[in-house]
Amino acid sequence: MTILIDQPELGVEAGVNKLDNADNELVLDGGFVVPQTNSFGQTFRDYHVESERQQGVENFYRTNHINQTSDFVKRMRTEYGKLNKMEMGIWECCELLNDVIDESDPDLDEPQIEHLLQTAEAIRKDYPNEDWMHLTGLIHDLGKVLLHPGFGELPQWAVVGDTFPVGCAFDKSIVHHKVAKGNNTTLPPAALFIIRYHSFYALHKSGAYRHLMNEEDTENLKWLQIFNKYDLYSKSKVRIDIEKVKPYYLSLIEKYFPAKLRW
């Protein structure tokens, strides 16, 4: 899907992580405690720990890097740019993701909607006035619905995993050596940048491919780096009461998306 954007003012500067010296736990600005380990008891995004899960992740990326070619990406842009697969509300899409297990993710085995809400609620605590970021946290992984039969049932290697630019030299920082315009959202450009590039770790973690950025990319990257700590480190066993927070997120969906999404 693609997005037509208005550009509201962004009213918050980048937050700063704080370290609680008493127990050596990282605490975000609003009091959200960063867990030390992921759902499997391992360090976050550790692609080298020997385990059954890690072997599957490695096999996924091997297939991903072989098949994600420039020609393939061009074909997918043409096919999915038609927005003729499905019409569905955002919350319905979130619920569909409960059937998805991301083969590329070494950190998470909870239902996807829990990850979305953990991310959104952690941001909400630290940035209560930036509701566009709360909604961005909720929808940042909605592209995974392309795995669902109703949206084309693409293979996992075509949908999930870390982002990298095709047609460029393969940077060593890559793991294992327009999404909403037609739906008339009023989310700001930074939100769209986050959704598109939150898995582009080679850029925002390792600094690769910065020569491809323009000034707007540089500004939006600041927001992505804020967002990323919530996307990654909210992958914990903290459970969210879905029914309790659902009305709030439905109100944000109504505010920023005037109609059901066309995919």
DSSP for the chain?
--B----PPP--PPP--EEETTTTEEE-TTSPBPPSS-TTSS-TT-TTS-SHHHHHHHHHHHHHHHH--HHHHHHHHHHHTT--S-EE-HHHHHHHGGG---TT-SS--S-HHHHHHHHHHHHHHH-TT-HHHHHHHHHTTGGGGGGSGGGT---GGGTSS----TTS---TTSS----SBBTT----HHHHHHHHHTT-HHHHTT-TTGGG--HHHHHHHHHHHHHHHHHHHT-SS----HHHHHHHHHHHHHHH-SSPEE-
102 marked among binding-site residues: yes
pLDDT higher than threshold 80 for residue 40: no
Q: Domain range holding 98?
A: 53-262
6 marked among binding-site residues: no
Q: Is residue 158 part of a domain?
A: yes
pLDDT category of residue 249 using cuts at 50, 70 and 90: very high
141 marked among binding-site residues: yes
25 marked among binding-site residues: no
Q: Is residue 32 part of a domain?
A: no
103 marked among binding-site residues: yes
Residue 159 sits in a domain of what CATH number?
A: 1.10.3210
Mean pLDDT, rounded, for 111-132: 88
Q: Residue 174 has what pLDDT?
A: 65
Q: Residue 24 has what pLDDT?
A: 38
140 marked among binding-site residues: yes
Q: Is residue 47 part of a domain?
A: no
Q: Residue 134 has what pLDDT?
A: 96
Q: Residue 14 has what pLDDT?
A: 37
Structure tokens at 154: 């693409």
Q: Is residue 209 part of a domain?
A: yes
The span from the CA of 74 to the CA of 77, in Å, is: 5
Q: Is residue 30 part of a domain?
A: no
198 marked among binding-site residues: yes
Which range (61-65, 68-72, 177-181) has the least confidence?
177-181
105 marked among binding-site residues: no
Q: Is residue 164 part of a domain?
A: yes
pLDDT higher than threshold 90 for residue 253: yes
161 marked among binding-site residues: yes
Q: Is residue 213 part of a domain?
A: yes
Nearest CA among 43, 229, 199 for reference residue 125: 229
177 marked among binding-site residues: no
pLDDT higher than threshold 90 for residue 175: no
Count of domains forming the chain: 1
pLDDT higher than threshold 90 for residue 256: yes
Q: Is residue 5 part of a domain?
A: no
